[in-house]
Amino acid sequence: MTSLGSVDREADRGVDGGADGGRRLIRVAVPNKGALSESASGMLREAGYRQRTDTKELVLLDEANGVEFFYLRPRDIAVYVGEGTLDVGITGRDMLLDSRAPVTEVLPLGFGRSRFRFAAPAGSGLDVPSLQGLRIATSYAGLVGGYLAERGVTARLISLDGAVETAIRLGVADVVADVVETGTTLRQAGLELFGEPLLLSEAVLIRRRDAAVPGGLEGLERRLNGVLIARNYVMMDYDVADDVMDAACAITPGFEGPTVSPLAREGWQAVRALVPRREAQQVMDDLWGLGARAILVTDIAACRF
Ligand SMILES: Nc1ncnc2c1ncn2[C@@H]1O[C@H](COP(=O)(O)OP(=O)(O)OP(=O)(O)O)[C@@H](O)[C@H]1O
Ligand SMILES: O=P(O)(O)OC[C@H]1O[C@H](OP(=O)(O)OP(=O)(O)O)[C@H](O)[C@@H]1O
Ligand SMILES: [Mg+2]
């Protein structure tokens, strides 16, 4: 295992000798465990980067791609990036806001989606103004404190490391504020949600705010964006008669207009466009209704936009 210190010095020297001669590595923080860890590494792997095979590895150098990955607790990632120690990182939007670190979102990554909510024993009938003077257990005191301050509510925040849902039963708090995905954990604790979500969270790529854009970020962002498009879009091909071509193109506008090619068949054209994956079945029905035929959908293995 390599120590963080020795790799730091290696990174400062950059990648020598290659076509990029002396290019500095971009240093990327990745969650080492928890809800975001597997998906973050999976996405980076899909984007062509090396990822660790041993969960005990703390640092991994992907020299060919000019990236060095540091596996850290998701809660600490905004701190490292905010301090400028690491260039970019993947963490949850909720953790980034909670940290108050000087970082900014570069790209939402579409996984680790959750809502941040207040909850209390079923039937309490609470709302946000009635939190005044109550005890709120949370692992996100920065986020909750900021939310209440904006609304002029003063409550006592009980900071806990995790499993906050149990705090009410144990008499430590009146209310909890926590991450909710399915709501199962809250229900099992006999709690119910109240108030609007404080936040809709997901995994995000972050960088330091008010600092120069790190070298290499553009390439990383383009690759990750390519993964998002490959995941969220499909390629649709179909044949359509000239007289309904405009209507068909309106159904499948693509990103920059569909590709239209002549067909051997007189009065018909072949059309190709990207379509949101979740809309593909409805779009095929609509095209069929217009008279389009030979409608094919294919997955995108990789792309750059
Ligand atoms: N069940 C979940 N579904 C979706 N996202 C989640 C879920 N649990 C946590 N997250 C998100 O993952 C990020 C990291 O949370 P995670 O639970 O992994 O860290 P933690 O609570 O500090 O550590 P741990 O739970 O491993 O002790 C946060 O942004 C959070 O919103
Ligand atoms: O709505 P659900 O689908 O039940 O998911 C939400 C739960 O998942 C997370 O717990 P985690 O396992 O991370 O434990 P923690 O609370 O100790 O962080 C979160 O803190 C909630 O407790
Ligand atoms: Mg957790």
CA 89 to chain centre: 11
69-84: per-residue pLDDT in tens?
Answer: 999 999 999 999 999 9
- Write phi, then psi, for 66 (nearest 5 degrees): 70, 35
Please report which helix (H) or strand (E) contains residue 10, including its range.
helix 4-13
Q: Supply the pLDDT for residue 120.
A: 98
Separation between Cα atoms, residue 230 and residue 215, nearest integer Å? 25
Cα of 162 to ligand 3 centre, how many Å? Answer: 6
Cα of 170 to ligand 2 centre, how many Å? Answer: 18
Cα of 156 to ligand 1 centre, how many Å? Answer: 23
Mean pLDDT is lowest, of 21-25, 182-186, 251-255, for: 21-25
pLDDT band (50, 70, 90) for residue 1: very low
Looking at residues 156-177, what average pLDDT do you find? 97
pLDDT band (50, 70, 90) for residue 7: very low
Separation between Cα atoms, residue 224 and residue 231, nearest integer Å? 11
Q: Supply the pLDDT for residue 24.
A: 84
ipTM over 0.90: yes
Atom of ligand 2 nearest to the CA of 183: 1
184-225: per-residue pLDDT in tens?
Answer: 999 999 999 999 999 999 999 999 999 999 999 999 999 999
Residue percentage of the chain with pLDDT more than 70: 92
Separation between Cα atoms, residue 216 and residue 67, nearest integer Å? 8
DSSP string of 168-189?
TTTTS-SEEEEEESSSHHHHHT
Whether pLDDT at 100 is above 70: yes
pLDDT band (50, 70, 90) for residue 12: very low
Atom of ligand 1 nearest to the CA of 91: 29
Residue spans of the domains in the chain: they are 4-111+203-215, 114-201, 233-299
Beta strands in 109-190 (DSSP E): 114-121, 135-138, 156-159, 175-180
Atom of ligand 2 nearest to the CA of 178: 20
Q: Which ligand is nearest to the CA of 183?
A: 2
Q: Answer yes or no: is the C-beta of 92 below 6 A from any ligand 1 atom.
A: yes
114-201 and 233-299, same CATH topology:
no
Whether pLDDT at 4 is above 90: no
Cα of 180 to ligand 2 centre, how many Å? Answer: 7
Which residues are within 8 A (CB) of 299 and not within 5 positions of it... i.e. 6 or more apart?
A: 230, 234, 235
CATH number listed for the domain at residues 114-201: 3.40.190.10
Q: Supply the pLDDT for residue 22.
A: 57
* 224 within 8 A of 41, measured Cβ to Cβ: no
- From residue 154, alpha-carbon distances to 131, 133, 147, 178 in Å are 8, 6, 10, 18
Among 179, 188, 191, name the best residue to mutate to test ligand 2's pocket (greatest count of ligand atoms within 8 A of Cβ).
179
DSSP string of 240-292?
EEGGGHHHHHHH--TTT--EEEE-SSTTEEEEEEEEEGGGHHHHHHHHHHHT-
Class for the domain spanning 233-299: alpha beta
Whether pLDDT at 9 is above 80: no
Q: Supply the pLDDT for residue 81.
A: 98
Fold of 4-111+203-215: D-Maltodextrin-Binding Protein; domain 2 (3.40.190)
pLDDT band (50, 70, 90) for residue 117: very high
Q: Which of 44, 18, 96, 14 is nearest to 219 (CA)?
A: 44
Separation between Cα atoms, residue 98 and residue 82, nearest integer Å? 13
Sign of CA dihedral 270, 229, 106, 24: negative
Q: Supply the pLDDT for residue 2.
A: 36
Please tell me the residue having the least CA distance from ligand 1 atom 25. Answer: 34
Q: Which ligand is nearest to the CA of 163?
A: 2
Among 30, 105, 114, 202, name the best residue to mutate to test ligand 1's pocket (greatest count of ligand atoms within 8 A of Cβ).
114
Please tell me the residue having the least CA distance from ligand 1 atom 22. Answer: 75
pTM of the full predicted structure?
A: 0.91
Q: Which ligand is nearest to the CA of 138?
A: 2
**pLDDT, mean over the chain:** 93
Whether pLDDT at 8 is above 50: no
Q: Which ligand is nearest to the CA of 164?
A: 2
